[in-house]
Amino acid sequence: MKTKIITIVGKSNSGKTTLLEKLIARLTQRGYKIGSVKHAHDGFEMDKEGKDSWRHKKAGAKATLVISEDKIALVKDDKTSYLEKMRSYLEDMDIILAEGFKKQHLPKIEIFRTESVHKNPLCMEDENLIAFVTNSGYKPDVPLFGLEDIKGIADFIESSFLKKITKPKKEYETQ
């Protein structure tokens, strides 16, 4: 079975990273293995100029793996699609939560804030919109959540995308 991917989308400074952090923490507490992906623009460099791994890559290595006792980082030339990359490198995860990728045909949870400088949400007409997180009056025909309803959003993801995975509940609510 292919690992499910959900994207968290929204305009700049809408709170995508904060929402993703809270969802990862909540779902991890419940015993799920969460893979995360951040969309980067072409030309980004993960390694710093002058470091050995940077020097290896610049010398012509097609892949550079940096390994420590408990972590790895991989920089590899890869011309496959975003979806293939996510699934290939994170296939051992229960679910992949990706930040960005608003143009991909993937399930999307959009976050939209009234205090944003942006006037309108991105995905109101997107058939892949599965949930909407907001403090605005917008009400698309998908489940709606408040900005701080992390439990509700996690419950939605769990029941809609993770229900076939049997995991023991580890979360203790203190609400």
Query: What's the rounded Cα separation, in Å, for the pair 112 and 119?
Result: 10
Residue 80 tokens read as 């496959």
Residue 110 identity (one-letter amino acid): E
What pLDDT, on the 0 to 100 scale, is given for residue 62? Answer: 85
Tokens (6 digits) for 123: 């995905």
**What domains, with CATH codes, occur in the chain?**
4-44+79-161 (3.40.50.300)
Residue-level pLDDT at 43: 61
- Give the C-alpha separation, 144 to 93, whole Å: 26
Average pLDDT, 10 consecutive residues per value, the chain (175 residues):
91 92 96 90 69 82 84 86 91 94 94 85 95 96 97 97 65 46
Q: How far is CA 119 from CA 10, 48, 138, in A?
A: 12, 38, 11
Q: What local confidence, expressed as pLDDT, does residue 173 receive?
A: 44
Q: Give CA–CA dist 72/122, Å, rounded.
A: 35
pLDDT given at position 99? 93
160, 162, 166, 167: CA torsion to nearest 10: -110
Q: Check residue 93 and give its pLDDT.
A: 95
What's the pLDDT at 165?
59
| pLDDT (0 to 100) of residue 66 | 83
The one-letter code for the residue type at 103 is K
H-state helical runs in the chain: 16-29, 52-59, 82-89, 150-161
The beta-strand segments (E) located in 10-143 are: 34-38, 63-67, 72-76, 95-99, 108-112, 129-134
